[in-house]
Amino acid sequence: MKTERNKMDKVDIKKEQKIKCVVWDLDQTIWHGILSEDENVMVNNLAKATIIELDNRGILQSIASKNNAVEAMKKLKQLDLDKYFIYPQINWGPKYKSIENISKLINIGLDTIAFIDDQEFELDEVKFNFPEVMDINSKDLANLLMKEEFIPRFYTKDSQRRREMYQSDIKRKQDEEKFSGSQYDFLKTLNMEVEIFPAEIEDLNRVEELTMRTSQLNSTGYIYTYEELCNFINNINYKLLIVNLRDCYGDYGRIGIVLIELRKHEWYIKLFLLSCRVMTRGIGGIVLNYIKELSQKSGVKLYAEFRETEKNRMMFTTLMFNGFSKAEGLNDNYLVCDNLSTEAVPSYISLKCVE
């Protein structure tokens, strides 16, 4: 089975690009009328149904609205819609600035955001500043759910819980900011449980989704299809591992993937991927230590493939920090781990490994 990918097919990747977050206007979009002129505005039932379905599909949602924040959130609560939005930006500033803030807070690219508004001026201003954002006039709302960008390839348990997981993460961050001790002391309060185990067929939909959604902590930028992943778990020359994380705030779900090619004298990490939501939790080092331990027991040399993309420099830093370096005699896409000694798992983390 061929595993080397000579180059990424950028056309196909672009075609697979899905919207990760829909940013909504409020007046004349989520509700009929203008709230500042009439506090009894009525909900737009089509918008409400669309919001609920997008949430079911695992697509995050937020708000960019020029309104009084307190009154707007009060109205959303009355309409039983407030729970669907994370990081709402309700202020009197430009909406492109609000969208930029949402992008940074969620840590996603602007090219994965769609913006819905009834005003052509607002849509044009966003398009002028951020042409990569998908702009949608609210009068075209009826067709939104049929657009390819809003239809996930698979519906997984993790994707259907995505909004809840982000809301738990917001609570974590808020509590961490209030915490008076060190970050290490805060991490000790989380009761983190990491589990590393071989992927099974029921995991592969989520694995494919992760490769498509994760770019910053992806060692190669590769996107693997469900069919390719099936081949890997049925091939004794490969090991496909899943990383799961939970803490006292809830379950992060599947947050990491490792694909290892097993040769007689060498192991090659062909893909190492972690969700950006856990980048400050030390999970990368724990996973790499586990792989180093396995390779040491097997008496093999350990390499990692790394292909730099526009976004994954942080993964290169993670690999280098955990003992990998440029491999002499190999092409520039490979790093080698000359020292397979491992460090103890931090005391604030419980690790369970299933081989």
pLDDT, tens digit (0-9, with 9 covering 90-100), for 314-333: 888 888 989 899 877 666 78
Domain locations in the chain?
A: 19-150, 160-353
Provide the terminal-to-terminal Cα distance of the chain, rounded to the nearest Å: 24
pLDDT attached to residue 76 = 97
Residue 66: partners with Cβ closer than 8 Å, 6 or more residues away: 91, 92, 93, 95
pLDDT attached to residue 9 = 38
For residue 180, give Cα distances in angstroms to 108, 175, 176.
29, 10, 8
Q: Which helix (H) or strand (E) holds 122?
A: helix 120-129
Which segments in the chain show pLDDT lower than 50? 1-15
pLDDT attached to residue 330 = 66
Torsion angle, alpha carbons of 109, 148, 14, 208, to 10: 80
Interstrand relation of 60-66 and 301-305 (parallel, antiparallel or unpaired): unpaired
Burial grade of 339 (CB within 10 A; 0-12, 13-18, 19 or more) = exposed
Listed residue (37, 12, 17) closest to 27, CA to CA = 37
> What is the per-residue burial (b if ≥16 Cβ within 10 Å, else e) of 248-287?
ebebbbbbbbbbbbbeeeebbbbbbbbbbbbbebbbbbbb
Residue 310: count other Cβ atoms within 10 Å of its Cβ. Answer: 9
Structure token pair of residue 339: 């020292």
Instruction: Compute CA 169 distance to the chain's CA centroid, rounded to the nearest angstrom.
Output: 12
CATH architecture of the domain 19-150 equals: 3-Layer(aba) Sandwich (3.40)
**Domain 19-150 shares a fold with domain 160-353:** no
pLDDT attached to residue 15 = 43
pLDDT attached to residue 113 = 97
Q: Which CATH class is domain 160-353?
A: alpha beta
Give the count of alpha carbons within 13 A of 72, CB side only: 24
Listed residue (46, 49, 44) closest to 26, CA to CA = 44
Task: Give the separation between CA 208 and CA 11, rounded to whole angstroms.
Answer: 18
